[in-house]
Structure 1
């Protein structure tokens, strides 16, 4: 952790900030009269549950609020200049140059029609007087610095050709390329595996050390906050409920809310206490639920106008079995083939060689982002009925009864069937995703990063829900996650994937206590712990 920089001058002063939205002439506060300072060269963490106001605070500082949002009170002074009173032209010069911003979801922030090299260059084009060649060279250097490889080819690729982790690194390169005085990072490592997360955190620390860059770091991962931040602010319902040195804050929290956040964080220690990983399986029959033999999975790699598409092998000759009733974890870096493998198992990618044998003919999948996998134009009731309609054999009354039962089962009231997806919180949407996967009574469910985008308290609730449903329905899980603490808590056994291959397969406790492969050792070495 970086040493405290409080002896340095204040870079940013936020005083009595109040932000909200008008709804039928009523002003709903999201940020409620908060005040805090950020010192030159320090890393300030902001933590809290979804809806606590942490992202709204960051967006206000960066002048990125939606048109509907209203700043009703307060000042935000960057080196003495109140950003809230500056004109648009003055703010335009500051954004990107003086203040950099890293968003949580890069796919919604990157232009899908422009190569990523050009998008990173655009920041330099706006704020720097460089030649075309100088801009390109500096862009490629920055892409390499954030951990991307083969930057010559990457420079010409489009966002959809990159993995989620690679896209996030492009966003980080865009934010950092002008060496801003203040870098605001809103959940910048949520989509990244632990090794790349570690690289990004080291890069941010390096900037602080060498460029004296100041960082506001927002995250629901308290282990990351403890690793990188000097101080932290804890927010709840738009208020700052606690603030202090990170070590003192996490070791001796004063407020009950802070204690609840810390208690919700998954960890290896808690996994050992649960002894979940010492249970062989929930089944005494030891039947094979899934048998994968010498499986390779391909994608068509698009060529240019004059070249044919080429097949690219993503998963390379893997073999493994999943026992009925167990929870098998799959870990590995972005691009290693975890999600590609899971899509082949559920039949979303049929360009394969080898064999996939499963007792369950229709395995279901819970995706990382329920907002993209659930139909936003339909109400929850319709979404949950649809799998039953497709399966057949249910009357209309049966379907509606089963939907009501399933909503209660995942911790929601029956009234939620009349809501749209955009009317739900992240945790509620993920509960609907789980309900949709379970409602047809499959025996095998693939969970692809099911809690990575959720704050710690909601994450803990969803993990408990998954455990409860698994025991009640006798389910088998294939659990994909880059969070090795979550894997330890949840899984009986773990597969480690690296560059499309399985490099290690072991019971969870054995793998964590005595890893055999060098790559596994690297993964375990960089787990953030509270």
Structure 2
């Protein structure tokens, strides 16, 4: 039985039409995935269903029906009644949707009170039950905590509890797992799938990840530039995509084998980490405890593990942005703990960091050309003219058109911004790049392009990488060795393909099992649909 029907939906921002004639249905208890890259219009469709379009956005045509009720012309007072009770949202970013000064339990109970389903102690008790239903352990204790005291996966489950609080018939899940570890992602999606089966709740899953959509949805709708270009059963879309754009998405799913690493001297590591330990005030256990690893010139080491495993702390220690509590980081033959002044500054030219988010890594006030030139200026390299020439060369290297040099970060796409961040990291000609989740915030097609670029730079310049990720499928595409971290320790290290074929630790097996099946399936190989530098 059809629960949601969207007919000929059109949405515009000002004069720009961003959704053009979209049609689809969602039945009771069905999961339908809407996939596509950033800017395809999928989140706009989700917000239109909820009548929560941002300022300037408006529905210009078509209808949206929930059961026998037409939503596009419903009064705002009626929509406030329907949101939560009939249709609920699980948004992407818990940090933007949870009140930082309210306890978790209060925020869930508030929905029960607003919709007059419970009050007082009953609402508080219901909140604990809902948090349990959303998969949170020891929910009564967690209900008294504030959002900042929970992990990202826990906060996402709080959003699911809030969405369930008024017993909706439809949940719109807008990229609910894109920033989460694969293991946490699996738990969240398992819960959404279980709720759909057990309670008959329909799910409209918005995602840029075709692997997730194919594994979790009954049907997949593929959007591009405001239109649905293909739809069908999930297995069919993955195995026999009919549209060139769908084939590009399938081909971009990470999981292919990395190219052979360039020949290099493996006897003198560019970085050695020996019994590294880092403790922080107020923490019971060390963030990093006894980590030992080495990376040779030209080698790419993947450091994988869930949030809180200590990966990013190791990255900061290797990049000379923090000092260990015990142990050593030897960079280019020098113990970083004993280096200071000019020697430490020189070491920082040897290693550069590429951060996770291209949206926060660049100063929004600077042109991107100035951001790339900043390391050269800070180290007193060249004059203005030579620095401008070097920045132009770096833009060519990362395949960005030079006419972007004068633009600010807000005028670029996510993929373009990450290319700018890579160009800035290369400005000082480092021998080692520490890449801290550099593609986790990007669409799968953009992610694939950035991984290809990093592989090409490694082959051309003999760069060494420490590649931090929670996603083994991504690591497999770039790295020839993998170290698996859990709770501050390395539990397994090995050659990438050997580790994939025969993992020795239960946790490594858990990570491998959490990779969406599409990431290990054979993939289509379409012609590129994007000009160089546009992704």
Q: Which runs of 5+ in 1 are unaligned?
A: 1-8, 302-309
SS in 1 for 2:85: coil
> Residue 13 of structure 2 corresponds to which residue in structure 1?
21
Q: Say if 2:480 is the partner of 1:487.
A: no
Q: 2 CA distance for matches of 1:452 and 1:405?
A: 27
Moved over 6 A (4+): none
Which stretch of structure 1 is more off in the superposition, 313-322 or 38-47? 313-322
CA distance in structure 2 between the aligned counterparts of 1:421 and 1:510, rounded to whole angstroms: 40
Structure 1 residue 196 corresponds to structure 2 residue 216: no
Cα distance in 2 for partners of 1:31, 1:300 equals: 50
Q: How many residues align?
A: 503
Aligned runs of 1:373-384 on 2, under 5 Å?
Answer: 373-384=361-372
1:314 corresponds, among 271, 279, 287, to 287
The 2-side partners of 1:281 and 1:155 are apart by 52
Deviations 1:334-371 (A, max 9, x none): 21111222122223333632211112821222122111
Q: Distance in 2 between matches of 1:107 and 1:472?
A: 40
Does structure 1 conserve the Cα–Cα contact (< 8 Å) formed by 2:265 and 2:296?
Answer: no
Matches within 5 A, 1:429-448: 429-448=417-436
Matched, 1:451 2:427: no
Query: For residues 424 and 284 of structure 2, what CA distance do their matches in structure 1 show?
Result: 33
CA distance in 2, matches of 1:331, 1:501: 11
Query: Partners in 2 of 1:164 and 1:433 — Cα distance?
Result: 25
> Is residue 47–residue 54 contact of structure 1 (8 Å, CA) maintained in 2?
yes
SS of aligned partner of 2:130 = helix
- Residue pair 1:299, 1:351 contacting (<8 A) in 2 also: no
Equivalent residues of 2:9, 2:59 under 8 A apart? yes
Q: 2:240 corresponds to which residue? A: 252
Structure 1 stretch displaced more, 359-368 or 436-445: 359-368
Out of 446, 450, 454, the position equivalent to 1:462 is 450
Cα 1:364–1:158 change in 2 (3 A) is farther
- Which among 336, 345, 352 is matched to residue 325 of structure 2? 352
Per-residue CA deviation, residues 454-509 of structure 1 (Å, 9 max, x unaligned), is 22211111111111112222211111122221111111111111111111011111
The change in CA–CA distance for 1:300 and 1:154 in structure 2 (over 3 A counts) is: farther
C-alpha distance in structure 1 between counterparts of 2:135 and 2:382, whole Å: 52
Q: Hey, what does 1:158 align to over in structure 2?
A: 146
Structure 2 match to 1:324: 297
Structure-2 residue corresponding to 1:283? 264
CA contact (8 A) 2:262 2:462 kept: no
TM-score (ref. length: structure 2): 0.89
Query: Is 1:118 aligned to residue 106 of structure 2?
Result: yes
**Distance apart, 1:312 and its partner CA:** 5.1
Mapped to 1, the partners of 2:180 and 2:263 lie a distance apart of 31
- 1:201-235 residue CA offsets vs partner (Å, 9 max, x unmatched): 21111111111000011112212111110111111
SS in 2 for 1:240: strand
CA RMSD of aligned residues (A): 2.0
1:12 paired to 2:30 = no
